[in-house]
Amino acid sequence: MVQRFSRSLRFRFLAALGGVLLLALISLAALSKWVIFPALHKEEHAVVIQELAQIERSLNISQQELLAQARDWSIWDDTYEFIQGNYPGYTDTNFSQQMFEEMRYQLMAFFNAEGDVHFLAGINPATGQYHTCYTAERECRWMSGLIRTMQASIKEDPEQGKSSLYAGTTPLMVASNPIVRTDESGPPQGWLFKVRPMDDEWLTIIEDYTGLPSTLSMLEGVINNDTAVTISGNTIQAQRYLTTYPHNEQLALGTQLNRTSYLSSLETFRYVLLWTACLMLLVIGLVLLLLERIILKPLRTLTQFTQQASVDLKGSSNLLGRGDEIGILARAFQEQFKHQQQLNAELIELSTHDPLTGLPNRRLFDQRLQEVVNSALASGQPLSVMMLDIDHFKMFNDHYGHPEGDICLQRVAQTMHDVATAHGFFIARTGGEEFSAMMSATSATQALEKSQALSDAIDQLQHLHYMSPVAPHVTVSIGISQLGIAGIQTFSGLMTAADQALYAAKAAGRHCAKVYTPSLANASFYSHNTPL
């Protein structure tokens, strides 16, 4: 059963479909893992780098702005005069705590042509106090570290005209420029440094400008990469590492983004994936259903139809009415079965009937008689057998010829058949010119009456038999026996008794009927049976 199923079309199709489905799912999973998820991740990475670049651009703009302000002040006749000591009112006119706060300056430092401090002004980040000094001492002591760094920078690069980032508890943005006349004539007379803290306020401005959350922190140690992207849960953080002056510390400018977009893309993709899988399963289910209804079920019916070979065409009318290949096949099978049935019927007819007269032959007679004997023995019903033989048929043949003999046999057989049908008994040709009849529920006496009907019918045929010493026409002699009478209990006993009764009829002058009696059993016996 299992083996048959495993070879069936349904199993093979299911196995193939299952394989294809599995392959599709594996491909989908592989595609997701190695193509789609990395692509989404890459896109997310690109977005965060783009946002980071925007923040960095804002930083650059902020630096350019500070440098422009430093240049405005340093390329100015007033400052030029001030650095040469020719403009004593310069500080009173231009410097105030309010100006520093509004411009968000932490410090402005003026250096003379020798690089020495000329004037300092700034707001102490620790106290918030505004101070002006001529040396980085006392209340301006907090500036001393920065001043040294600026002086080192001047030595390194007297050209200045640049903006740098300085490390510190709060990172600083520093812009510097040589001090020259407004028309930029004459040699530089010193340098001006402007310092702006990159504090929370500065970050807020950057955030307002970019619309992005921004972070700024000092890092310890040297980092080789210039950018880093880290993912933690629902957030993604990108940092750009900037080098501060004098190159021993690094500043991390960063932004932190919510991964909503990526996660929602992921969610959408998973949703699509799930629906694709469901749709695939649904389509496969439908294909299977259609396959079952359109092909497999009709094929099974066709298989049953061919296996039964009982040609129950009524149950297969659906199949036969189909216009497709299965219908064509079913109709071909039907034709084949009909033909086979016809051949079988012909074979059965040939094997059970006599071809000359069309009457049942000896084989069928014996078969039926055995059944009838069994049932009569079981029921106790009477059963009689009759044996009939044409009188002097050899003489008929000798006189009229064999073909005429055949015609005579056919006419006698037809007559006997008509009488048997009329009286409801079974008759067969059981020998050359010999016939036998079986009569259920009939006693020997009743059989004798029926034998008279048979004999009379044959007499009425008036089939000429010129050579017969009995009559001028064909006549028959008849022997009768009954089951259960005179000790007859078997099929063969019944036939032997009928034969002996026939012999007695022949001996009695022919053209008569005799019923078997035990006395006949002692008479010398010869068989009239000439099996066909």
Ligand X SMILES: Nc1nc2c(ncn2[C@@H]2O[C@H](COP(=O)(O)OP(=O)(O)OP(=O)(O)O)[C@@H](O)[C@H]2O)c(=O)[nH]1
Among residues 467, 489, 357, which one has the least CA distance to residue 401? 467
Using rule CB under 6 A, residue 511 touches ligand X: no
How many residues of this chain bind ligand X (CB under 6 A)? 17
CA dihedral sign, ordered 307, 310, 315, 319: positive
For residue 433, state whether it binds ligand X (rule: CB under 6 A).
yes
Task: Give me the helix-helix angle, 9-31 and 260-291, nearest 10°.
Answer: 170
When binding is defined by CB under 6 A, the residue of 101, 137, 139, 406 that contacts ligand X is: 406
Shortest distance in whole angstroms from residue 429 CB to ligand X: 9
Counting contacts by CB under 6 A, is residue 499 touching ligand X? no
Label each residue of 419-469 as H, E or C. HHHHHCCEEEECCCCEEEEEEECCCHHHHHHHHHHHHHHHHHHCCECCCCC
Sheet holding 227-232, edge to edge: 214-219, 250-258, 235-243, 227-232
Please identify, among the stretches 193-201, 239-247, 248-256, 391-399, the one whose residues bind ligand X according to the rule CB under 6 A: 391-399
- Under a CB-based contact definition with an 8 Å cutoff, are residues 122 and 100 in contact? yes
Q: Which of 44, 249, 389, 499 binds ligand X (CB under 6 A)?
A: 389
Residues in Cβ contact with 256 at an 8 Å cutoff, skipping those fewer than 6 apart: 213, 215, 235, 236, 237
Give the whole-angstrom CA distance, residue 112 versus residue 120. Answer: 12
State which residue, 249 or 354, has the beta carbon closest to ligand X. 354
393 contacts ligand X (rule: CB under 6 A): yes
By the rule CB under 6 A, 471 interacts with ligand X: no
User: Using CB under 6 A, which of the segments 4-12, 61-69, 161-169, 392-400 binds ligand X?
Assistant: 392-400
User: Taking the complex as a whole, how short is the minimal distance between the CB of residue 432 and ligand X, in angstroms?
Assistant: 2
- Give, as ranges, the residues between 353 and 372 that touch ligand X (CB under 6 A): 356
Residue (42 or 394) nearer to ligand X, CB: 394
Binding string, residues 243-282; x marks residues near ligand X by CB under 6 A:
----------------------------------------
Considering beta carbons, is residue 356 or 508 the nearer one to ligand X? 356
Sign of the C-alpha dihedral computed for residues 291, 292, 294 and 297 taken in this order? positive
Residue 237's DSSP bridge partners are: 230, 256
Where helices occur in 32-174 by DSSP H, the ranges are: 37-74, 77-83, 90-94, 97-103, 144-156
Output 312 or 406, the one with its CB closest to ligand X: 406
C-alpha closest to that of 471 among 368, 376, 356, 390: 390
**Per CB under 6 A, does 346 bind ligand X?**
no
Q: How near is the Cβ of 342 to ligand X at its closest, in Å?
A: 27
Q: Which two tokens stand for residue 14?
A: 């299911």
In the structure encoding, which two tokens stand for residue 510, read together?
């022919």
Q: Does 409 bind ligand X (CB under 6 A)?
A: yes
- One symbol per residue from 305 to 344: x for binding ligand X (CB under 6 A), - otherwise; what is it? ----------------------------------------
Residues that bind ligand X (CB under 6 A): 356, 389-395, 397, 402, 405-406, 409, 432-433, 506, 510
